Amino acid sequence: MKYTLLAILLSISSFNIFAYGGATEVGPKVSCELPDGTVSETYLLLCKGNGGTVKVD
């Protein structure tokens, strides 16, 4: 019984990851242009925290 409950809980928590399409607590991955001109693929919150701007392709 306890293994069945564990399997149910694990399956419910794994659906949460897929529901957000890979987004995490720091936001989805975006193309970020940093103040020095470099462009990198990083998370939205980290981009804004480093003074970057989100590039729209």
Q: Which residues pair with 27 in a beta bridge?
A: 24
Q: pLDDT (tens digit, 9 = 90+) per residue, 38-54? A: 999 988 888 888 899 99
Cβ burial of 43 (10 Å; 0-12, 13-18, 19+) is middle
Handedness of CA 35, 36, 39, 41 (dihedral sign): negative
According to the model, what pLDDT value does residue 12 have? 63
Q: pLDDT (tens digit, 9 = 90+) per residue, 25-41? A: 677 888 999 999 999 99
Tell whether 50 is covered by a domain: yes
What domain range includes position 34? 24-57
In the chain, the number of structural domains is 1
According to the model, what pLDDT value does residue 44 have? 86
Q: pLDDT (tens digit, 9 = 90+) per residue, 12-25? A: 655 555 555 555 66
Q: Are 31 and 54 in contact (CB under 8 A)?
A: yes
Cβ burial of 48 (10 Å; 0-12, 13-18, 19+) is middle
